[in-house]
Amino acid sequence: MPRRDLKVAALASAIAMLSAATQAEERYAIGRAATPAEIAGWNIDIGRDGSNLPPGSGSVERGRTVFSEQCAVCHGDNGQGGVGDRLVGGQGTLANPKPIRTVGSYWPYAPTLFDYIRRAMPQNAPQSLSNEDVYAVSAYILSLNGIVPANAVLDAKSLAAVKMPNRDGFVSDPRPDVHNR
Protein backbone atom coordinates (compact mmCIF):
# COMPACT_ATOMS: atom_id res chain seq x y z
CA MET A 1 0.00 0.00 0.00
CA PRO A 2 1.43 3.42 -0.92
CA ARG A 3 2.27 5.67 1.99
CA ARG A 4 -0.34 8.23 1.09
CA ASP A 5 -3.12 5.60 1.09
CA LEU A 6 -1.96 4.31 4.44
CA LYS A 7 -2.30 7.78 5.86
CA VAL A 8 -5.84 8.11 4.49
CA ALA A 9 -6.80 4.72 5.90
CA ALA A 10 -5.45 5.65 9.32
CA LEU A 11 -7.35 8.89 9.23
CA ALA A 12 -10.55 7.13 8.20
CA SER A 13 -10.32 4.63 11.00
CA ALA A 14 -9.56 7.42 13.47
CA ILE A 15 -12.68 9.24 12.30
CA ALA A 16 -14.71 6.05 12.57
CA MET A 17 -13.48 5.48 16.14
CA LEU A 18 -14.21 9.10 17.00
CA SER A 19 -17.78 8.96 15.71
CA ALA A 20 -18.36 5.64 17.50
CA ALA A 21 -17.19 7.35 20.68
CA THR A 22 -19.57 10.29 20.24
CA GLN A 23 -22.38 7.85 19.54
CA ALA A 24 -21.59 5.98 22.71
CA GLU A 25 -21.62 9.30 24.53
CA GLU A 26 -25.02 10.23 23.14
CA ARG A 27 -26.51 6.94 24.23
CA TYR A 28 -26.66 5.73 27.79
CA ALA A 29 -27.61 2.10 27.18
CA ILE A 30 -30.53 2.56 29.55
CA GLY A 31 -33.70 0.51 29.06
CA ARG A 32 -34.11 -2.82 27.32
CA ALA A 33 -35.59 -3.92 23.99
CA ALA A 34 -39.39 -4.06 23.85
CA THR A 35 -40.50 -7.49 22.63
CA PRO A 36 -43.02 -7.81 19.78
CA ALA A 37 -45.49 -9.46 22.20
CA GLU A 38 -45.20 -6.57 24.67
CA ILE A 39 -45.73 -4.04 21.91
CA ALA A 40 -48.71 -5.97 20.51
CA GLY A 41 -50.39 -5.95 23.92
CA TRP A 42 -50.13 -2.20 24.42
CA ASN A 43 -50.23 -0.87 20.87
CA ILE A 44 -53.95 -0.05 20.90
CA ASP A 45 -54.21 3.29 19.13
CA ILE A 46 -56.13 3.22 15.87
CA GLY A 47 -55.32 5.56 12.98
CA ARG A 48 -58.00 7.75 11.46
CA ASP A 49 -57.65 5.60 8.33
CA GLY A 50 -58.44 2.49 10.38
CA SER A 51 -54.83 1.33 10.57
CA ASN A 52 -54.21 -1.01 13.50
CA LEU A 53 -57.90 -2.01 13.76
CA PRO A 54 -57.98 -5.64 14.98
CA PRO A 55 -59.60 -8.62 13.24
CA GLY A 56 -63.22 -9.40 14.05
CA SER A 57 -66.58 -7.79 13.31
CA GLY A 58 -69.82 -6.79 14.97
CA SER A 59 -73.40 -6.08 13.90
CA VAL A 60 -75.73 -3.22 14.73
CA GLU A 61 -78.08 -5.88 16.10
CA ARG A 62 -75.49 -7.22 18.59
CA GLY A 63 -74.50 -3.62 19.36
CA ARG A 64 -78.06 -2.81 20.45
CA THR A 65 -77.78 -5.49 23.15
CA VAL A 66 -74.30 -4.40 24.28
CA PHE A 67 -75.47 -0.80 24.43
CA SER A 68 -78.60 -1.49 26.47
CA GLU A 69 -76.65 -3.69 28.90
CA GLN A 70 -73.46 -1.64 29.28
CA CYS A 71 -73.91 1.90 28.05
CA ALA A 72 -77.54 3.02 28.29
CA VAL A 73 -77.36 3.57 32.04
CA CYS A 74 -75.05 6.55 31.46
CA HIS A 75 -75.78 7.53 27.85
CA GLY A 76 -79.58 7.02 27.77
CA ASP A 77 -81.58 4.26 26.06
CA ASN A 78 -81.22 5.89 22.65
CA GLY A 79 -77.87 7.59 23.20
CA GLN A 80 -79.60 10.86 24.10
CA GLY A 81 -77.15 11.41 26.96
CA GLY A 82 -77.23 11.33 30.75
CA VAL A 83 -74.26 11.19 33.10
CA GLY A 84 -72.28 10.47 29.92
CA ASP A 85 -72.24 12.53 26.73
CA ARG A 86 -75.06 12.66 24.25
CA LEU A 87 -74.01 10.34 21.41
CA VAL A 88 -76.72 10.95 18.84
CA GLY A 89 -78.12 13.77 16.70
CA GLY A 90 -77.12 17.37 16.10
CA GLN A 91 -76.20 17.02 12.42
CA GLY A 92 -76.49 20.40 10.74
CA THR A 93 -76.38 22.36 14.01
CA LEU A 94 -72.67 23.20 14.21
CA ALA A 95 -73.13 26.75 12.92
CA ASN A 96 -76.16 27.39 15.16
CA PRO A 97 -76.03 29.60 18.24
CA LYS A 98 -76.47 26.41 20.31
CA PRO A 99 -74.65 23.68 18.38
CA ILE A 100 -75.10 20.04 19.38
CA ARG A 101 -71.84 18.15 19.14
CA THR A 102 -72.08 14.35 19.09
CA VAL A 103 -70.39 11.37 17.47
CA GLY A 104 -72.84 11.83 14.59
CA SER A 105 -72.56 15.58 14.13
CA TYR A 106 -68.99 16.33 15.17
CA TRP A 107 -66.56 13.41 15.08
CA PRO A 108 -64.43 13.47 11.91
CA TYR A 109 -63.36 9.82 11.78
CA ALA A 110 -65.29 6.60 12.51
CA PRO A 111 -62.27 4.45 13.56
CA THR A 112 -61.77 6.84 16.49
CA LEU A 113 -65.05 5.49 17.87
CA PHE A 114 -63.56 1.99 18.10
CA ASP A 115 -60.35 3.40 19.59
CA TYR A 116 -62.10 5.43 22.28
CA ILE A 117 -64.72 2.87 23.29
CA ARG A 118 -62.11 0.14 23.57
CA ARG A 119 -59.71 2.20 25.69
CA ALA A 120 -62.16 4.15 27.87
CA MET A 121 -65.70 2.71 27.86
CA PRO A 122 -67.80 1.59 29.63
CA GLN A 123 -66.46 4.17 32.04
CA ASN A 124 -66.89 1.80 35.01
CA ALA A 125 -65.01 -1.08 33.28
CA PRO A 126 -62.75 0.12 30.45
CA GLN A 127 -60.93 -2.43 28.25
CA SER A 128 -63.45 -5.11 29.28
CA LEU A 129 -65.35 -5.50 25.97
CA SER A 130 -64.27 -8.02 23.33
CA ASN A 131 -63.13 -6.52 20.01
CA GLU A 132 -66.33 -7.98 18.46
CA ASP A 133 -68.48 -6.10 20.95
CA VAL A 134 -66.54 -2.88 20.38
CA TYR A 135 -67.21 -3.22 16.63
CA ALA A 136 -70.86 -3.99 17.39
CA VAL A 137 -71.51 -1.09 19.74
CA SER A 138 -69.64 1.28 17.39
CA ALA A 139 -71.90 0.08 14.57
CA TYR A 140 -74.96 0.63 16.77
CA ILE A 141 -73.98 4.23 17.66
CA LEU A 142 -73.31 4.97 13.99
CA SER A 143 -76.71 3.50 13.04
CA LEU A 144 -78.48 5.59 15.70
CA ASN A 145 -76.96 8.57 13.89
CA GLY A 146 -78.17 7.35 10.50
CA ILE A 147 -74.57 6.95 9.30
CA VAL A 148 -74.74 3.16 8.69
CA PRO A 149 -77.90 1.09 7.97
CA ALA A 150 -79.64 -0.94 10.67
CA ASN A 151 -78.41 -4.21 9.16
CA ALA A 152 -74.76 -3.15 9.01
CA VAL A 153 -71.94 -5.43 10.15
CA LEU A 154 -68.66 -3.58 10.65
CA ASP A 155 -65.10 -4.84 10.55
CA ALA A 156 -61.73 -3.15 10.07
CA LYS A 157 -62.31 -2.44 6.41
CA SER A 158 -65.92 -1.28 6.52
CA LEU A 159 -65.44 0.87 9.65
CA ALA A 160 -62.50 2.60 7.97
CA ALA A 161 -64.67 3.22 4.89
CA VAL A 162 -67.39 5.09 6.83
CA LYS A 163 -67.37 8.79 5.93
CA MET A 164 -68.38 10.93 8.88
CA PRO A 165 -70.56 13.99 8.14
CA ASN A 166 -68.11 16.44 9.78
CA ARG A 167 -64.93 14.99 8.30
CA ASP A 168 -64.00 18.25 6.61
CA GLY A 169 -65.11 20.50 9.45
CA PHE A 170 -61.70 21.11 11.03
CA VAL A 171 -59.22 23.90 10.31
CA SER A 172 -55.69 24.48 11.58
CA ASP A 173 -54.84 26.89 14.39
CA PRO A 174 -54.72 30.47 13.06
CA ARG A 175 -53.79 32.14 16.36
CA PRO A 176 -52.84 34.85 17.17
CA ASP A 177 -56.30 35.65 15.82
CA VAL A 178 -57.22 38.73 17.88
CA HIS A 179 -55.63 41.88 16.55
CA ASN A 180 -55.89 44.37 19.38
CA ARG A 181 -52.81 46.46 18.92
Residues that bind ligand HEC (CB under 6 A): 70-71, 73-75, 83-85, 87, 102-103, 113, 116-117, 121-124, 137
Q: Is 26 in the site for another protein (CB under 8 A)?
A: yes
Looking at residues 99 to 138 of the shown chain, list those that interact with another protein (rule: CB under 8 A).
99, 101, 103, 106-109, 112, 115-116, 119-120, 123, 126-127
Q: Is 95 in the site for another protein (CB under 8 A)?
A: yes
Stretch that binds another protein, among 5-13, 25-33, 133-141, 146-154 (CB under 8 A): 25-33
Terminal-to-terminal C-alpha distance of the chain: 73
On whether the CB atoms of residues 112 and 48 are closer than 8 A, the answer is yes
Q: In which element (H, E) is residue 21 found?
A: helix 3-26
On whether the CB atoms of residues 166 and 107 are closer than 8 A, the answer is yes
What size, in residues, is the chain?
A: 181
The CA-CA-CA angle for residues 67, 101, 64, to 5°, reads 15
The SS3 call for residue 58 is: strand
Backbone angles phi, psi at 116, to 5 degrees: -70, -45
Q: Is 45 in the site for another protein (CB under 8 A)?
A: yes
Tell me how far CA of residue 175 lies from CA of 106, 111, 123, 171, in angstroms: 22, 29, 34, 12
- 21 makes contact, choosing from ligand HEC, another protein, none, with CB < 5 to 8 Å by partner type, with none
- 16 makes contact, choosing from ligand HEC, another protein, none, with CB < 5 to 8 Å by partner type, with none
- 40 makes contact, choosing from another protein, ligand HEC, none, with CB < 5 to 8 Å by partner type, with none
Binding site for another protein (CB under 8 A): 26-28, 30-34, 38-39, 42-48, 83, 94-95, 97-99, 101, 103, 106-109, 112, 115-116, 119-120, 123, 126-127, 169-178, 180-181
